[in-house]
Structures are given as structure tokens and as C-alpha cells.
């Protein structure tokens, strides 16, 4: 009988913690690891193939921005990939609705439609971003990255970097 009681209270506690954790991570903040080189040097400045995922950066993501969908240039965001809804990507916002974005390789200038944004990685040589799939709807955004929380020597805020060179002023 005692083990039965213990099991019951244990399940109940697990359930409660699950509920509270899920709510907090949906509405307020969550912690996610970042893999790959597309945002180096901001995240994962050097990937160590020996240690593998041990050297990944962990990011604190806030979700308050999802109430109004107000973003500014240079914010680092987490969004669902437009090609595969199960993947999430982390990139930097370059352009917001109404901006004109030019790409250095081709001479095209693209106007960003309403409700979309232009995202790019900080490492242009190995990043799959708006240069290949075009502007993405803001509805895919799942949060804004504010801090790096792990590893300990890299703890700190992530600041917005505006890259004026990519925006055409017209």
C-alpha cells in the first residue's frame, strides 16, 4: 500500500511539473541548444568535432515578443523552417516588412512583403537562410534569443547587430 501511495504522489508531482514547465517554456522563456556553424562567430565560434555536441552553446529564448510580433533589425530569432516544420533554425533578422534587401552575389533587390522578414546567418559561407528560401512569414518565429547560458566561459547577453550594408535605402 505504501509503494502504491508513493507511486501515485510521484506521478502526480511529475504531471504538475510537466504542466508548469511546458507553460513556462511556451509563454515566457526556454533554453535551447544550437548546432552547426551558421551563426558563428556569435554562437559556436569553433566546433570541436572531437567533443561534438559537448561544446554546443545553449541559448535563453524569450517568448514575450510573440504577443505583438514586434521585432527590430538585428534581433536573433528562433523560427520553424519553412521547408520542414519539425526543424527550428536560429538566424538574425536583416530586414522587416517594407525594407528592400539586396544580395551581394546577384544584383536583385527584393522588397519584403507585409508580415514577413528577411533572415540571415552570421556566417554567410555555411548558412541556409533567406538567400536560398526568400523572406519568411513572421508567424513562423518561435522566440527571440537574449542570452547565452552555457558553456560558463561564454555566458553573456546577445546583442543586436545591424548590418546596414544589406539594406538598400529606397
Partner 1 sequence: MRKWKLIVKEALSQTLTVAKFLCLLHVTDNYLCSPTLVYGPSMLPTLNLTGDVVLSEHVSHRLGRVGPGDIVLVRSPLDPTKFVTKRVGGVEGDRVTFLEPRISDTCRTFVVPKGHVWIQGDNIYASNDSRHFGPVPYGLIQGKAFFRVWPPYCFGSLGP
Catalytic residues: 38, 91
Among 33, 45, 52, 113, binds partner 1 (CB under 8 A): 113
By CB under 8 A, is residue 82 in contact with partner 1?
yes
| Interface stretch with partner 1, choices 45-53, 81-89, 121-129, 148-156 (CB under 8 A) | 81-89
Eight-class DSSP state of 50 = T
Residue count (the chain): 170
Measured from the CB atom, is 71 or 150 closer to partner 1?
71
By CB under 8 A, is residue 23 in contact with partner 1?
yes
Task: Report d(CA 113, CA 52) in Å as an integer.
Answer: 39
CB of 164 to partner 1, least distance (A): 25
Measured from the CB atom, is 26 or 124 closer to partner 1?
26
Residues contacting residue 41 through CB under 8 Å, at least 6 positions apart: 122, 123
For the stretch 117-153, what's the b/e string if a residue is b when 16 or more beta carbons lie within 10 angstroms of its beta carbon? Answer: bbbbbbbeeebebbbeeebbebebbbbbbbebeeeee
Among 7, 14, 22, 31, binds partner 1 (CB under 8 A): 22
Strand partners, 110: 101
Measured from the CB atom, is 141 or 145 closer to partner 1?
141
Q: Cα separations (Å) of 148 from 12, 32, 105, 110?
A: 33, 10, 32, 32
Measured from the CB atom, is 23 or 126 closer to partner 1?
23
CB of 102 to partner 1, least distance (A): 22
Binding residues for partner 1 (CB under 8 A): 16, 19-20, 22-23, 26-27, 68-69, 80-85, 113-116, 136-141
Amino acid at each position: 500500500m505504501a509503494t502504491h501511495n508513493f507511486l501515485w504522489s510521484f506521478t502526480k508531482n511529475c504531471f504538475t511539473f510537466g504542466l508548469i514547465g511546458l507553460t513556462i517554456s511556451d509563454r515566457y522563456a526556454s533554453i535551447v541548444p544550437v548546432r552547426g556553424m551558421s551563426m558563428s562567430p556569435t554562437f559556436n565560434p569553433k566546433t570541436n568535432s572531437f567533443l561534438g555536441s559537448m561544446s554546443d552553446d545553449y541559448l535563453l529564448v524569450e517568448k514575450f515578443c510573440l504577443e505583438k510580433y514586434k521585432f527590430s533589425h538585428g534581433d536573433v530569432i528562433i523560427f520553424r523552417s519553412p521547408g520542414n516544420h519539425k526543424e527550428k533554425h536560429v538566424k538574425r533578422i536583416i530586414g522587416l516588412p517594407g525594407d528592400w534587401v539586396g544580395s551581394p552575389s546577384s544584383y536583385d533587390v527584393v522588397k519584403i512583403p507585409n508580415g514577413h522578414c528577411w533572415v540571415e546567418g552570421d556566417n554567410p559561407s555555411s548558412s541556409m537562410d533567406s538567400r536560398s528560401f526568400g523572406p519568411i512569414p513572421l508567424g513562423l518565429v518561435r522566440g527571440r534569443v537574449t542570452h547565452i547560458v552555457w558553456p560558463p566561459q561564454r555566458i553573456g547577453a546577445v546583442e543586436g547587430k545591424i548590418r546596414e550594408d544589406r539594406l538598400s535605402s529606397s
